Structure 1
Amino acid sequence: MEFCELLESKKKFVIAKQLLRSGTSIGANSFEAQNPYSKKDFVNKIKIAAKELEETKYWLYLCKHSQSYPFNENLETQIIEI
C-alpha cells in the first residue's frame, strides 16, 4: 500500500489504483478461502487469488521497465515468494 501511495504522490494514478486493487485482492481472497462453504469454494478463492497475483506481477513489471516510474525490488521478491 505504501508503494501505491508513492505512485500516487508521483501522479501515477492509474497504475497505483490497479496495483492496489490487485495486490489487496490476493490477501482478501486468501483470507476468504480459510472459511469456505465447500471444497469448490476454497479452490475458486485460491484460483482468484492466483489470478490477482499474476495481475500484480504485471503492474510491477510495468513499473520496473518504465523509466518514469519508481520500482520496489522488495515487492517483486515478495510476489515471487507468494
Structure 2
Amino acid sequence: MDKEILKKRTKAFSIEIAHLVQSLPFNIINKDYSNQIIRCSSSVGANYRAACRAKSKADFINKLKIVEEELDESMFFLELLVEFNQDQKTTIIKTWKEANELLSIIVSSITTLRKAMASQS
C-alpha cells in the first residue's frame, strides 16, 4: 500500500476514535478508557509518519513495531468500550475492524521487510 494512503488512513483512524469518544456518555469508565484510546490511537498515525522518515530498513521496522503495538492497544480499548456502551456497538465494531485491517497491513509490511533484509544477508 502507498505510504501516503496509509498516512491518511492512520490519521483518519485517530480522528474516527476522537469522534467516537466525543459521542460516548460521560462516566468514570468511559473517561478512563477514552483517555487511553485517544493516546494510543493518535500514536498510530504519529508513529507511522515517523516510520516514513526512518533512516534505515531496521529503523523503519522498529518504528512499525510501535505502530503495531499502538494499534493492538487501540483494539483492546475498543473491546472494553463496547462492553460498557452496547448502544454504540455497531460504530465501535466498525472502528475495531478498521484497526484490525490497519494492523494486518502493518504486520504484513514488517514480515515482508524482515524477509527482504534476511535475503540480503
Distance 1:26 1:44 in 2: 13
Question: TM-score by structure 1 length?
Answer: 0.84
Summarize deviations over 1:2-59 as a string: whole Å, max 9, x none: 112223x523211111000011111111111111122221111100000011101110
Task: Give percent identity, aligned residues only.
Answer: 27
Question: TM-score by structure 2 length?
Answer: 0.59
Residue type at the aligned position of 1:16: S
Trace 1:3-82 onto structure 2 (pairs within 5 A): 3-7=20-24, 9-11=25-27, 12-66=30-84, 70-71=88-89, 72-82=92-102
8 Å CA contact retained: 1:63, 1:69: no
Bigger proportion of residues as helix = 2
Report the aligned-residue RMSD.
Answer: 1.9
Number of corresponding residues: 81
Cα 1:80–1:20 change in 2 (3 A) is same
Distance 2:26 2:72 in 1: 24
Distance 1:44 1:69 in 2: 38
